[in-house]
């Protein structure tokens, strides 16, 4: 196995072939905030909180560390005024959806994000996709999926599958940073397979 040497926040870091920048940083004890990342799931690159700066020539490029491969010789800064400013902005955008999510509030404190900067949105889903991807990749059930696109995009359980598998699983519930998932589930359950009916079917 070839060894990769990188510099993260001035610190020499060794990484293994195939690791992402995020994994390399975390293995070296450098913390990078994430919301949509999960060790069991393929990198998604949706929340963009894990952005870092790569020094290349005399420029600094911003990349999402969760979807970028660790490469020999990379020089990475996980913090800078610009990175912090963008992370704060991303958090503020998400806080408009889920102002009371404990995970978001903790990050908001770290970055000084104002939870009422933007008008409160009706849905508190932040589209991290953890539930959708966990169900697809780990459970391979696809009981919950994304529907529509852009600002109309939302998660939705598929009653046909959910009625059969969800009540015995619910492994995605603790993954949800905002508890919107539970609400979506209760909704589909009450509409499509009220309690009791699913097991009889």
Partner 1 sequence: MKVMTRIKLEELRQRIVSERNPDTPCITVCAGTGCLASGARDVVAAFDHEIEAQGLEVELGFRSTGCHGFCEKGPIVIIDPEEICYLQVTPEDVPEVIAKTVKEKEVIERLLYVDQNTGEKAVHESDIPFYKHQERMVFGANRRIDPKSFEDYLAIGGYQALTKVLFEMTPDEVVSEVKDANLRGRGGGGFPAGVKWEIARNAPGETKYVVVNCDEGDPGAYMDRSLMEGNPYGVLEGLTIGAYAIGAHEGYVYIRQEYPLALENLMAAIEDAEKRGLLGTDILGSGFDFRVRVHRGAGAFVCGEETALLISLEGEVGEPKPRPPYPAVKGLWGKPTTINNVETWANVPLIINGGAAAYAAIGTEGSKGTKIFSLVGKIANTGLVEVPMGISLRDVIYKIGGGIPDGKKFKAVQTGGPSGGCIPEERLDLKVDFDELTKAGSMMGSGGMIVMDEETCMVDVARYFIDFLTDESCGKCVPCREGLRQMHRILTKITEGRGEEGDIEILEELAETAREASLCALGKTAPNPFLSTFRYFREEYEAHIKEKKCPALSCRRLVSYYIEPEKCKACLICLKECPAGAIDGAKKTVHIIDQEKCDSCGICFEVCPSRFEAVKRISGEPVPPPIPQEQRAVIRKSTQQ
By CB under 8 A, name the binding residues for partner 1. 43, 45-48, 51, 62, 64, 67-69, 82, 85-86, 89-90, 93-94, 96-97, 117-119, 126-127, 146, 148-153
> From CA 73, how far away is CA 6, in angstroms rounded?
5
Q: What interhelical angle do 102-111 and 81-95 show, nearest 10?
A: 150
> From CA 201, how far away is CA 101, in angstroms rounded?
36
User: Shortest approach of partner 1 to residue 190 CB, angstroms?
Assistant: 26
User: Shortest approach of partner 1 to residue 129 CB, angstroms?
Assistant: 8
Query: Is the Cβ of residue 86 or residue 175 nearer to partner 1 in the bound state?
Result: 86
> From CA 21, how far away is CA 7, in angstroms rounded?
11
Query: Is the Cβ of residue 152 or residue 195 nearer to partner 1 in the bound state?
Result: 152
Query: Is the Cβ of residue 68 or residue 101 nearer to partner 1 in the bound state?
Result: 68
User: Shortest approach of partner 1 to residue 89 CB, angstroms?
Assistant: 4
Query: Is the Cβ of residue 152 or residue 200 nearer to partner 1 in the bound state?
Result: 152
Query: Is the Cβ of residue 95 or residue 198 nearer to partner 1 in the bound state?
Result: 95
Phi then psi for residue 84, to 5 deg, are -65, -40
Residue 135 has what DSSP assignment?
Answer: I
User: Shortest approach of partner 1 to residue 153 CB, angstroms?
Assistant: 4
Per residue, the 3-state secondary structure of 26-80, as one string, reads HHCCCCCCCCCCCCCCCCCCCCCCCEEEEEECCEEEEEEHHHCECCCCCEEECCC
In three-state secondary structure terms, 145 is strand
């Amino acid at each position: 196995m070839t060894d990769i040497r990188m510099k993260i926040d001035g610190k020499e870091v060794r990484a293994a072939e195939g690791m992402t920048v995020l994994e390399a940083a975390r293995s070296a004890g450098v913390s990078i905030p994430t919301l949509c990342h999960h060790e069991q799931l393929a990198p998604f690159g949706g929340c963009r909180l894990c952005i870092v700066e790569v020094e290349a020539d005399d420029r600094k490029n911003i990349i999402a560390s969760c979807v970028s491969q660790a490469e020999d010789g990379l020089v990475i800064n996980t913090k800078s005024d610009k990175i912090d400013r963008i992370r704060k902005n991303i958090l503020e955008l998400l806080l408009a959806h889920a102002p009371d999510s404990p995970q978001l509030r903790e990050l908001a404190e770290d970055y000084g994000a104002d939870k009422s900067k933007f008008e409160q949105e009706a849905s508190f889903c932040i589209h991290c996709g953890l539930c959708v991807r966990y169900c697809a990749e780990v459970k391979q059930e696809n009981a919950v999926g994304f529907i529509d696109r852009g600002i109309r995009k939302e998660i939705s359980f598929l009653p046909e599958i959910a009625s059969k598998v969800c009540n015995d699983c619910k492994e995605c519930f603790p993954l949800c940073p905002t508890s919107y998932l539970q609400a979506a589930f209760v909704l589909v359950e009450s509409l499509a397979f009220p309690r009791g009916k699913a097991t009889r079917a």
